[in-house]
Structure 1
Amino acid sequence: MGASEVLTDPSSLYDVGNGEYSDTYTMLTVRNALASVQNGESDRYEELVQSMQIIKGADHAVWADLVTILNALSGSVACIDIIHHRKLLSSVFGMSLWDLKPHVMEALVGLLISLAATSGKYLDSCLNMLIGHFIPPRWVIDRLSQRRVIDQKTDVLSQVHGAILKITLLVPLAPSRLLPMLAQQMPKINKKDNVVVIYVENLFKLESSPIGQVGSSMIFMMVMERLRDLDLEIDWDDILQDDSSRGMFDMELEDAMNEGEENTSGGNVVFESLDKLMVISFDHLESCNLDGRLDQVFEKLFGAFENFILNTYKSKVSQFLMFYACSLDPENCGVKFASKLMDIFLSSNKPRPTRQMSAVAYLASYLARGKFLPVSYVATMLKRLVDECADYCRTCNDDIRPEAHQIFYSGCQAIMYVLCFRMRSILNVPLFRSQLRPLESILMHRLNPLMVCLPSVVAEFLKQAKAGGMFVVSDAFIFDDLLESELSRAFGGPERLDTFFPFDSCLLKSSNSYISPNFIYWSMVRPTYEEDDDDEEDAEIIVNGDEESDEEEEEGDLDYSMNKMSITPKHSFKNKMERDRLLKMPSMIRPSISPQSF
């Protein structure tokens, strides 16, 4: 039906000068139709509701009539009653911007803004309808490779965000109503599509708007939670096919990637969604940095990390949001992250041990892998860990069961792990070297961390300590096996937190292109036992942020800088003879009497 058909007396509303019905007369007629239903006369009201229905293939005149009616309704919202006009409201809220012409979209959006601003009764319905457009219909998702559909997506979502922003400016209550709705409509993991990616794009657009001033924390919580869920959906053990005969410092990245490709059948959408979500998140953090608000956003990001990632057992990708944020602003965010992790580890409130163990595992992996971290800062954090472990040794009781000292052992392992990556740089500075002296007494203590901590870490640490002249280490004490003792298993606990190194290499290709320029791979480390050789192609290896690499890494080239990596090992308990030999390792190392050189 045309707009004129709603009229009680169409001829009385005809503008002879313009040859058409005026907007004012149309508005009066629509109001009459709204009023008539309350008087028991429903014919004109039913015709009005019917005129809201979209007919596929409708001509230009039908669209023009619809725009006229929507505009008239926008000027008549005070006449709309939530009880008597339920059918009309249902038609309005049932419309989809994805099905409308641009000028009709504008008219509908104008009506929604008027409804939301006029009465609190319609606020939730308007916001819910707008948020619902964050998830496009199936036909849009299937055609997103087409330029026309991409442009339509841009137009629709621009209208949606514009409407939400106007509503929040007109209705102060709107943001507090909006945020729970965003969480409720957040898509779940769907292995058939990746609509969650489009939804998160819209969340970040809201975070960048004035709405982010009140909703930033909750938006990061929502994103981090979904990243974690996707992370956990992927069975990394099946992908990596870890071989216990290989050392954690030996695994080739190409092996891991090739094995991963062979084991991702049926899970490609999850991989793709996780990778895309990480890239979108990285881009948003970079945008925040360019806008000068990364430091502010970082606090909220860390809150989300602390709630959803820190205590998640062996997440492999989602934590790299923190790493990337730190790489964008090492002096502020980079320092804050390490300090916050250290504070959790040293907390006097005595949180559950797994939380402290996880925090120091993150700290160790971060200090080892962050190319942007100056060696001076790494040395400062190591000193805090060494001092804490030394104090613990002085006050510990007679109970030497590993499970009674999990936090202590996690601290010792963190120190050794960082030194596996940074020892040459640390020992090359006399001040930093002197700060590690208490480590000797820690390793000589009857709690015997060298026997309890992860053998692969201990072996690499001792090998470098001997070569660097850090201590005089008995040859019998250097071992290359990846044997794990019963004591080590007891320290790690049922979740084996002793084998968790959170910032092992990122195995998602697109995501890794953001991480690799600021990431230290094991192949880049020059251990103390390697002789200087200017003729070798990779002799110049930088392991701290105080120097610039002589070779620029090519962004996006995964194989260029990632030729080796450390990956959380998956060990096997070997035969009794080997186990007994491991448990009989010397428990003491002698003080150094050799020159302090390497």
Structure 2
Amino acid sequence: MVSLASIDRSTPATAGSKPLLRTTMSGTIRKAQDAELDEDLLAEMPKTKRARVTFNPNVEEKVLEEYVAKGRTVESVRTEVKRAIEAHGRGDSEKYDAIKGIFVPLREDDEDNEEQDATASNEEMKIYLLALTNYVSLLNKNCNGLVRAILACEWMGREESFVKAYAQFLGNLVSTQGAYVGMVLGMLVGHFTGVRLSSGRLPGCPDVSRDKLTGRVHYVLKYLIRLIPSASATLSPILSTKFPFADESQRMHVTYINNLVRLIEYAPELKSDVFALITDRLVKIDVQMQVDLDDMDDEVAGAIVQAIAISPAEQEDEEKDEEDDSDDSDAESVNSDDSLSEQAKQAKEIQESVEKLDAILDRLFTIYDPYFTDPNSIEAANMFETLLGHFANIILPTYRSRHTQFLLFHYAQKAEHLIDQFAGTCVQLAFQSGRPAVLRQASAAYLASFVARGAHVQPQVVRTVFELIGSNLDHIRIENELTCRGPDLKKYGTFYAMTQALLYIFCFRWRDLIDSSEEFDDEDPQAFIGQELVWTEGIKETLSRAIYSKLNPLKICSPPIVSEFAKIAHHLRFMYVYPLLETNKRIRLSQFASANGQGALRDTGNGSNDESWHQLDAYFPFDPYQLPVSKKWIEDDYVQWKGIPGLNQDEDEDDSSAEEDDDEDEGEPAEDDTATDDEGED
């Protein structure tokens, strides 16, 4: 540590000497005022290191004389620009088109121009830009072509003084001509998907790195948002429009998301819209990927996921390499695809979709994680409220979302109060009478899956949720049992969804439903044999009333889940339902099925004989997570299936139980046979 006393004060200050910093600071402030850019923005402007060069004053004078001789002074150019715009308004566009041509990027065959010509071109463009800045009031809709040419010019890779002048021009333009605000913002956001390295390799200009090019885009955008606060409202729909399409590359998606996150650092008012947009597009990619996998042969789909899971480290390395690829990489990829067969192309596209989804989710986990460093902080509370909003408005209404919801799964388990908050939200959505039945059923599935699979969900929460669902089941049963003709999925869908939720929770968390002071060793097969377990008060009675009611939920609930529940309940002496399952085999659901849930009988003569159409789907949103890179975020939060001590699935199954597929994992409720549901690899 250096103290003030240690500083050498023996050298006196020279009388009349000028402070060195005063000239520099005054020059900086003057430039900021001229360009209407504040000091904070100037401080954030990327600095380019310049080599020390000794200039020949004679050469400099010669160049200046040349510009003066050509009439390229700023004042003369201003006059020329004004006259050209006015003449264009009268129908004479010759000089107007000449000015517009100054901002047209050089063609490839112009790259061999001499350095001096390129420098002159850069200086000429800057002078005309400064001149146009003074006459933005004349750039009405008739000058749309000139404005578009300026927006399309290569501006990011030029010297810093040009970038500042460009920012000033855009600021004056959008302040004076409001019709151009959307066009200007759209141009800047268009670079969020990535900037070309060639944009930083302009003739006559020092090379600019990709990071600095991106920084200049944000520098200008930040200046415009500060200049026009209402620009944020215009920017929000533009961000949605410019978001990469689902079939765009992984690199493009991740780059765009990174730029969105950088945007909300200086435009926090857009944070809610930005995160909602990312979640919405992520869900669409998620669902489409699952649909594509379901449409493929099981062997091909399994091979795709297995290939991705073999080496996630290599995938991360490839992502880094892509950032340094040349501008021709996309064209090379298209050419290589031409040699593949149709099936190989489809497999390649699906594999790219899986990798893209994996990379985006991994990036989102990284973005959200700092907010939950302290789960009890205001930042964590606000961000979790945002996630809950995304869940209720985007994830929940989307059928077959497969991985996006694990953002909630992970961060809800950061603290007990967050677990209660997420479970409470699911309970509210599932029990709210005014909501559509399909959303209530989905909420019940999310609630059951979260409680069953959440490693940090405490036993007390499991019991509370079980009791809440059971109480609601009693209410629905009492309301409908007297008029019930038989099991009907459309008419009593919410009742069956909640019953299936209880069966699923029981299969995974039956240990937490035991109300006994004695602790049993799960590793000892004899621990549960012959034991009279004491269950939490009311759960057996609640399930019995629901199962043996006229609504007959075991006929409607997914057969694999019903079968697994029957085995576990019988083995633990909780309940014996095999006689009911045998009786249900003789019931045809089509005779009770209603049309549109209004009680009208279905035309059984024209319908399908497949009973599965009248039964619940075995969809539980937090089924095993298989994306190889982002999987690391939820591994410690997840409850894997554990076999039941003393229960042998192959030998102890009663002949009257529902038929099971021989390929199911031992002891686990069967899940959809998709490539991403193979829990055995966890």
Task: Give the structure 2 partner of residue 277 of structure 1.
Answer: 360
1:182-197 to structure 2, matched below 5 A, reads: 182-190=239-247, 195-197=252-254
Give the aligned residue type for 1:211. Answer: A
1:18 is displaced (CA, Å) by: 12
Contact preservation (8 Å) 2:463, 2:512: no
1:302 is displaced (CA, Å) by: 3.1
Task: Give the structure 2 partner of residue 540 of structure 1.
Answer: none
Instruction: State the alpha-carbon separation in 2 of the partners of residues 255 and 84 from structure 1.
Output: 58
Task: Give the structure 2 partner of residue 315 of structure 1.
Answer: 401
What residue ranges of structure 1 are gaps of 5+ in the alignment?
A: 1-14, 142-147, 243-252, 532-561, 572-598
* Residue among 496, 502, 513 paired with 1:409: 496
Instruction: State the alpha-carbon separation in 2 of the partners of residues 504 and 53 from structure 1.
Output: 55
Give the aligned residue type for 1:365. Answer: S
1:256 is displaced (CA, Å) by: 9.6
Q: 1:568 to 1:490 in 2, by over 3 A?
A: farther
Q: Percent identity?
A: 22
Instruction: State the alpha-carbon separation in 2 of the partners of residues 289 and 178 from structure 1.
Output: 28
Contact preservation (8 Å) 1:200, 1:223: yes
SS in structure 2 at match of 1:304 = helix
Task: Give the structure 2 partner of residue 579 of structure 1.
Answer: none
Q: Does residue 337 of the first structure (1) align with residue 443 of the second (2)?
A: no
Higher relative contact order (CA 8 A, sep 6+): 1
Give the aligned residue type for 1:274. Answer: L
Matched residue count: 498
Q: Does residue 468 of the first structure (1) align with residue 572 of the second (2)?
A: yes
Task: Give the structure 1 partner of residue 468 of structure 2.
Answer: 384
Contact preservation (8 Å) 2:453, 2:622: yes
Q: Does residue 365 of the first structure (1) align with residue 449 of the second (2)?
A: yes
Task: Give the structure 2 partner of residue 91 of structure 1.
Answer: 149
1:423 is displaced (CA, Å) by: 0.7
* Residue among 396, 403, 410 paired with 1:324: 410
Give the aligned residue type for 1:268. Answer: Q
Task: Give the structure 2 partner of residue 440 of structure 1.
Answer: 544
Give the aligned residue type for 2:561. Answer: V
Instruction: State the alpha-carbon separation in 2 of the partners of residues 410 and 94 from structure 1.
Output: 56
* Residue among 238, 246, 263 paired with 1:181: 238
Q: Does residue 517 of the first structure (1) align with residue 598 of the second (2)?
A: no
* Residue among 224, 228, 241 paired with 1:167: 224
SS in structure 2 at match of 1:420 = helix
Q: 1:85 to 1:354 in 2, by over 3 A?
A: closer
1:178-257 to structure 2, matched below 5 A, reads: 178-190=235-247, 195-206=252-263, 208-213=264-269, 215-234=270-289, 235-238=292-295, 241=298, 257=305
Q: Does residue 398 of the first structure (1) align with residue 398 of the second (2)?
A: no
1:406 is displaced (CA, Å) by: 1.4
* Residue among 188, 206, 212 paired with 1:130: 188
Contact preservation (8 Å) 2:462, 2:512: no
Instruction: State the alpha-carbon separation in 1 of the partners of residues 126 and 229 from structure 2.
Output: 30
Task: Give the structure 1 partner of residue 391 of structure 2.
Answer: 305
What residue ranges of structure 2 are gaps of 5+ in the alignment?
A: 1-59, 200-205, 310-343, 518-533, 595-610, 649-664, 675-682
Task: Give the structure 1 partner of residue 80 of structure 2.
Answer: 33
Q: 1:125 to 1:521 in 2, by over 3 A?
A: same
Give the aligned residue type for 1:33. Answer: E
Instruction: State the alpha-carbon separation in 1 of the partners of residues 553 and 232 from structure 2.
Output: 52
1:109 is displaced (CA, Å) by: 3.3
Q: 1:99 to 1:500 in 2, by over 3 A?
A: same
SS in structure 2 at match of 1:312 = coil
1:65 is displaced (CA, Å) by: 0.7
Contact preservation (8 Å) 1:168, 1:175: yes
Contact preservation (8 Å) 1:217, 1:304: no
Task: Render the CA deviation track for 1:322-359: whole Å, top value 9, x for unaligned.
Answer: 223323x333443322222211111121x322111111
Give the aligned residue type for 1:569. Answer: D
1:66 is displaced (CA, Å) by: 5.1
Give the aligned residue type for 1:32. Answer: T
Task: Give the structure 2 partner of residue 354 of structure 1.
Answer: 438
Instruction: State the alpha-carbon separation in 1 of the partners of residues 265 and 588 from structure 2.
Output: 54
Q: 1:38 to 1:464 in 2, by over 3 A?
A: closer
Q: Does residue 499 of the first structure (1) align with residue 554 of the second (2)?
A: no
* Residue among 77, 83, 103 paired with 1:52: 103
Contact preservation (8 Å) 2:556, 2:616: no
1:417-436 to structure 2, matched below 5 A, reads: 417-428=504-515, 433-436=536-539
Contact preservation (8 Å) 1:27, 1:75: no
Task: Give the structure 2 partner of residue 568 of structure 1.
Answer: 671
Q: 1:460 to 1:202 in 2, by over 3 A?
A: same
* Residue among 135, 139, 142 paired with 1:81: 139
Task: Give the structure 2 partner of residue 527 of structure 1.
Answer: 644
SS in structure 2 at match of 1:498 = coil
Instruction: State the alpha-carbon separation in 1 of the partners of residues 468 and 241 from structure 2.
Output: 43
1:64 is displaced (CA, Å) by: 4.9
Task: Give the structure 1 partner of residue 57 of structure 2.
Answer: none
SS in structure 2 at match of 1:187 = coil
1:317 is displaced (CA, Å) by: 1.9
SS in structure 1 at match of 2:229 = coil
Contact preservation (8 Å) 1:168, 1:174: yes
Q: CA RMSD for the aligned pairs?
A: 4.2
Contact preservation (8 Å) 1:367, 1:373: yes
- After alignment, is 461-470 or 63-72 more displaced? 63-72
